[in-house]
Structure 1
Amino acid sequence: MSVVVFVYLTFRLVTTHDLGAVLAAPEFDGPAFLLALSLTASWQLTFGPYVADTSRYLPTSTWVRTTFWWTYGGTTLGATWAMSFGALAYSVAGSAFKGNEVPYVVGLGGEALLIPLLLAIAPSASS
């Protein structure tokens, strides 16, 4: 369910806003970039215990390398997608986004999907 919602919200973000204008005039903020990089690295590193715990239930014939790469690929794809979505949403919305992240993202879906989007997004926003 969450993947479908996230695909839809990404589609809405890309198709309803002029991302070309945002991407055409990029501003590099060194400290913010380093903060984002450290958050991304810590996100990946904190997933290690889950891999170790889950991998002990796999058949003994499963290669360690296979477990690592499938897990790393999934967390990398998920983190890159979510963080890129958030960065683009903030770039497009500016001050309307900060402090109102969940209402802004849910608003991308339109009124017809308000309740399903809130149910899909709100639990992750509280963690």
Structure 2
Amino acid sequence: MYRIGELSKLLGVSEHTLRYYEKEGLVVPLRKGKNRIYSDEDKEWLEFILHMKNTGMALVDIKEYTLMRKDENGDKHAQELMEILVKHRDEVAAQLKIYQENLELMDNKISKYQKLLNEHQNKDLFDTFVDQKKKGN
């Protein structure tokens, strides 16, 4: 069992974020007076929610998935749950392709500048050699 402050530190999110997720119905902690008490299951759901959020999934889609999954008859939603995940996976794959293309472009630019710097460095060494020869060293 976790209090909101403990769980926010464990998960690396603000207490405000946890309250917001509660307000949105993503997690429903027990209440003892004014205190929120989160179970291990709540913690696991929040870890999943944060993981999906980190992949760029919209909170509305996370909420839809979470509510269907937590439904008493969650298994009857298997097709819909899979479709949500497949759709998001396709979006992540498309984004990954863009990142890979951008990374390749940056690597090419870095390589060009490295080559330019190496050529400049070699030229400086050669010029130094020539200058020393002219001076009779």
Same fold (TM over 0.5): no
Q: Highest Rg: 1 or 2?
A: 2
TM-score (norm: length of structure 1) = 0.30
Structure showing greater relative contact order (alpha-carbon pairs closer than 8 Å, 6 or more residues apart): 1
Bigger strand fraction: 2
TM-score (norm: length of structure 2) = 0.28
